[in-house]
């Protein structure tokens, strides 16, 4: 949550920082702000609102300076207001800070600072940082020394950047459990929560470990460990697929990313077979296997559990990451924990993985984003390789997670190559699903746009797809939706079905078809509007979303795609911005 960016170099800083804020907006978009050092002045502009609106309203593009920091906010402490937007400053307006994360002991720190005469102007946890820096600078510290001195006083997780009139021409920053990455291009230096913010300028990057401090000046970049000793770091090359963040001709990233799914499986299968075989063996040998994840990643994990059981004959459990800590007692060195996370930043997962590691478990992660905290914590990382996903709602990364579980489960029976070939052949089926259903889905979304409740049902491996379809609709359209095993409907939820209630029935022509249809009939008898998602026509469908015929274990990958598109079109019809759903952010770095 929250995106931070800093630039220091030969070029005008503000256009670079503003451009970066647009690219970081997926991390939070309720407020934005910028601070720039120019001719002995610290210029600060910020407000509530989306990045483009704030830029326009405050005429930010006109700000001068060669050193600047910026922020996009997802509010945790304090309402969405101008005064709570970042950057935050010290008493004299000589220090500016942008921060991602939570300073958990901010109340105690604030009380101490107020007792010492500091004046606060916001409700945020962040504001303690510039005041702490102020005290250090007053004592004659350099900016980087100030950061080194105050970091141990901060509890919680954070990455922050600071600039000051007292030590101008530089940006200092540090991180703990939140990402911070440096980019270098000749005499130009960038630092951000995500390399995507500056990947159009450079692919040379350097990462910071927890508690390390970085300082950027026009002369170069320096790193220090927590004791202040200088560190030597080598730049690495950023994967080029991560540099791409354009919508092309699409109106929204969500639509582009749904459409990307016609090609994404080609990239996914580019994996090292040996790694898969070894990882599959580790899973098979483990006394217990626990998959932990949140949101869409958890639904992908539920499909994974089914595949492991069906193909590899290995039972495993899926535990919601925010609940994982409560099950940690049984974790030991004979446990394999598989953490599934698009971002690799989700705080609930990071916490659980740390606890599991402490208990001796082997941690295998499935991640999309490179250079993540989760990757650093894991014994083994498998990357999705599907490029940056910008829309808050997961689409192509969800499909990629399903594909990776498919590959892993077939690696358990030494069939990696056959599984890869099947995944590649699925590309054309996904194209077909999109082509043949597009106009039906547009019509359906217009028809159903004012409905308040949707139910999604399925059985077996497709149950998780019902849940994922419902989650997509909730996220981007703000419509109540529930996904459940079809057999569960009659155990309570059926009471909510009224004439016209939309029920999405995922019923491919497999062994679940007849039973799922019986449950759909129960809903239909109470007046439900049935949307059948199937390769087989059914008399009771009011609308039919056609699936191609594929292997039983591949149905989730073709069935989820039209459900994503349905959610997208309902959002458009309801006037919602599917890329930036209210109250949400792509990386959930708070618990």
When asked if residue 588 is in the footprint of ligand AGP (CB under 6 A), the reply is yes
Cα 591 from Cα 585, distance rounded (Å): 13
Of the two residues 163 and 337, which places its CB atom closer to ligand AGP in the complex? 337
- In 3D space, the residue among 225, 236, 233, 160 whose CA is nearest the CA of residue 203 turns out to be 236
- Kindly report whether the peptide bond that precedes residue 447 is cis, defined as omega within 30 degrees of 0: no
Near ligand AGP by CB under 6 A: residue from 126, 296, 501, 589: 296
Complex with ligand AGP: residue 356 or 588, whichever CB lies closer: 588
Question: Is residue 207 a contact residue for ligand AGP (CB under 6 A)?
Answer: no
| Token duo for residue 45 | 């502009």
Q: Catalytic: which of 2, 294, 316, 386?
A: 2
SS3 (DSSP) at 484: strand
Count other C-beta atoms under 10 Å from residue 452's C-beta.
Answer: 9
Among 166, 295, 469, 532, binds ligand AGP (CB under 6 A): 295
At its nearest, how many Å lie between ligand AGP and the CB of residue 533? 19
Question: Which of 146/465 has CB closer to ligand AGP?
Answer: 465
| Euclidean distance between CA atoms 141 and 286, whole angstroms | 52
H/E segment holding residue 171 = strand 170-176
The DSSP annotation for 445-463 comes to: HHHHTT-SEEEEEE-GGGH
- The minimum distance between CB 295 and ligand AGP, in angstroms, equals 2
Nearest residue (CB) to ligand AGP, 316 versus 590: 590
393 makes contact with ligand AGP (CB under 6 A):
yes
| Least distance between ligand AGP and beta carbon 135 (Å) | 37
Helix axes 396-411, 416-448, angle to 10 degrees: 150
CA distances to 73, 109, 283, 348 from 155, rounded to whole Å, are 20, 10, 36, 17
Query: Closer to ligand AGP at the Cβ: 66 or 343?
Result: 343
The answer to whether the CB of 216 falls within 8 A of the CB of 169 is no
Complex with ligand AGP: residue 295 or 562, whichever CB lies closer: 295
Q: Does an H or E element contain 42, and which? A: strand 41-48
Q: Of the candidates 392, 464, 473, 507, which one interacts with ligand AGP according to CB under 6 A?
A: 392
Q: For the window 441-460, what string marks contact with ligand AGP as x by the rule CB under 6 A?
A: --------------------
Calpha distance 125→529 (Å, rounded): 48
CB of 548 to ligand AGP, least distance (A): 24
Place of tokens 């450079």: 202
Asked if residue 394 binds ligand AGP (CB under 6 A), the reply is yes
308 SS3 class: helix
Smallest distance, Å, CB 1 to ligand AGP? 10
Q: Which of 170, 396, 524, 586 is catalytic?
A: 586
Min dist. Cβ of residue 246 to ligand AGP (A): 21
Q: Which span (105-113, 115-123, 291-299, 411-419) binds ligand AGP, by CB under 6 A?
A: 291-299
Residue of closest CB approach to ligand AGP: 295
Q: Is 403 in contact with 265 (CB distance < 8 Å)?
A: yes
Between CA 109 and CA 122 the distance in angstroms is: 14
Q: Catalytic site residue 576?
A: no
Compare residues 343 and 378 and give the one whose CB is closer to ligand AGP.
Answer: 343
Q: Using CB under 6 A, which residues numbered 87 to 116 contact ligand AGP?
A: none
Least distance (Å) between residue 583 CB and ligand AGP:
11
Looking at beta carbons, which pairs linking 114-123 to residues 24 or more positions away fall under 8 Å?
Answer: 117/91, 118/90, 118/91, 119/91, 121/83, 121/89, 122/78, 122/83, 122/84, 122/88, 123/77, 123/78, 123/79, 123/83, 123/84
Q: Is residue 2 among the annotated active site residues?
A: yes
Task: Give the range of 212-220, 224-232, 387-395, 454-462 binding ligand AGP by CB under 6 A.
Answer: 387-395
Would you say 113 or 303 has its CB closer to ligand AGP? Answer: 303
Query: Is residue 196 a contact residue for ligand AGP (CB under 6 A)?
Result: no
* Total site size for ligand AGP, rule CB under 6 A: 14
Stretch that binds ligand AGP, among 63-71, 210-218, 232-240, 289-297 (CB under 6 A): 289-297
Segment 470 to 499, residues that bind ligand AGP, using CB under 6 A: 475
Q: How is the beta sheet containing 529-534 ordered, strand by strand?
A: 480-485, 453-458, 502-506, 529-534, 543-546
Q: How is residue 423 written in tokens?
A: 């995944």
Residues numbered 317 to 376 that lie near ligand AGP (CB under 6 A) are: 341-343, 346, 349
Nearest residue to 389 via CA among 241, 262, 269, 237: 241
Closest by CA to 163, choosing from 147, 184, 187, 149, is 147
Q: Pick the binder of ligand AGP from 177, 297, 411, 519 (CB under 6 A).
A: 297
Smallest distance from ligand AGP to CB 535, Å:
26
564 phi, psi to nearest 5 deg:
-65, -45
Q: Are 392 and 579 in contact (CB under 8 A)?
A: yes
Judged by CB, which is closer to ligand AGP: 5, or 349? 349
- Of the ranges 152-160, 390-398, 402-410, 453-461, which one interacts with ligand AGP (CB under 6 A)? 390-398
Annotated active-site positions, please?
2, 586
Residue numbers at the binding site for ligand AGP (CB under 6 A): 294-297, 341-343, 346, 349, 392-394, 475, 588
């Amino acid at each position: 949550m929250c995106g931070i960016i800093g630039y220091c170099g030969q070029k005008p800083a503000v256009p670079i920082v503003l451009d970066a804020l647009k690219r970081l907006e997926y991390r939070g978009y309720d407020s934005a702000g910028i601070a720039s050092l120019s001719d002995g002045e610290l210029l600060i502009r910020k407000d509530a609102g989306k990045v483009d609106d704030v830029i326009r309203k405050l005429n930010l593009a006109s700000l001068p300076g060669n050193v600047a920091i910026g922020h996009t906010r997802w509010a945790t402490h304090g309402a969405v207001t101008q005064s709570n937007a970042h950057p935050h400053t010290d008493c004299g307006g000589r220090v500016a800070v942008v921060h991602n994360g939570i300073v958990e002991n901010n109340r105690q720190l604030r009380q101490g600072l107020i007792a010492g005469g500091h004046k606060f102007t916001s409700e945020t946890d962040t504001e303690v940082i510039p005041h702490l820096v102020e005290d250090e600078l007053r004592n004659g510290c350099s900016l980087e020394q100030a950061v080194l001195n105050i970091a141990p006083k901060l509890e919680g997780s954070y990455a922050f950047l600071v600039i000051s009139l007292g030590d101008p021409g530089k940006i200092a920053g540090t991180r703990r459990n939140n990402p911070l990455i440096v980019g270098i291009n000749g005499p130009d230096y960038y630092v951000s929560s995500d390399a995507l913010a500056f990947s159009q300028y450079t692919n040379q990057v350097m990462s910071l470990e927890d508690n390390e401090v970085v300082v950027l000046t026009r002369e170069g970049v320096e790193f220090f460990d927590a004791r202040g000793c200088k560190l030597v770091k080598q730049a690495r090359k950023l994967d080029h697929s991560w540099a791409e963040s354009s919508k092309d001709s699409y109106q929204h990233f969500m639509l582009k990313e749904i459409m990307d799914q016609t090609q994404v499986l080609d990239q996914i299968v580019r994996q090292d077979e040996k790694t898969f075989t070894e990882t599959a063996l580790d899973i098979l040998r483990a006394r217990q296997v626990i998959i932990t994840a949140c949101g869409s990643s958890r639904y992908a994990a539920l499909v994974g559990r089914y595949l492991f059981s069906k193909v590899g004959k290995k039972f495993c459990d899926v535990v919601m990451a925010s609940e994982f800590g409560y099950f940690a007692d049984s974790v030991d060195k004979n446990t394999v924990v598989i953490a599934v996370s698009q971002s690799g930043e989700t705080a609930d997962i990071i916490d659980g993985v740390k606890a599991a590691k402490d208990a001796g478990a082997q941690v295998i992660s499935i991640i999309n984003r490179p250079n993540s905290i989760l990757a650093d914590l894991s014994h083994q990382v498998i990357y999705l390789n599907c490029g940056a996903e910008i829309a808050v709602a997961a689409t192509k990364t969800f499909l990629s997670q399903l594909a990776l579980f498919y590959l892993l489960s077939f690696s358990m029976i030494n069939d990696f190559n056959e599984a890869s070939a099947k995944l590649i052949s699925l590309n054309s089926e996904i194209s077909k699903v999109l082509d043949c259903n597009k106009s039906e889905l547009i019509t359906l979304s217009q028809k159903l746009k004012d409905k308040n409740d949707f139910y999604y049902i399925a059985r077996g491996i497709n149950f998780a797809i019902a849940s994922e379809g419902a989650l997509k609709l909730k996220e981007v359209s703000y419509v109540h939706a529930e996904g459940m095993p079809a057999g569960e409907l009659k155990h309570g939820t059926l009471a909510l079905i009224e004439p016209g209630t939309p029920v999405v029935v995922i019923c491919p022509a497999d062994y679940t078809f007849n039973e799922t249809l019986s449950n759909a009939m129960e809903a239909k008898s109470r007046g439900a509007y049935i949307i059948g998602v199937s390769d087989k026509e059914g008399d009771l469908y009011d609308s039919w979303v056609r699936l191609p015929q594929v292997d039983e274990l591949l149905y989730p990958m073709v069935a989820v795609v039209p459900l994503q598109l349905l959610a997208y079109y309902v959002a458009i019809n309801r006037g919602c911005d599917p890329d930036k759903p209210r109250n949400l952010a792509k990386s959930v770095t708070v618990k």
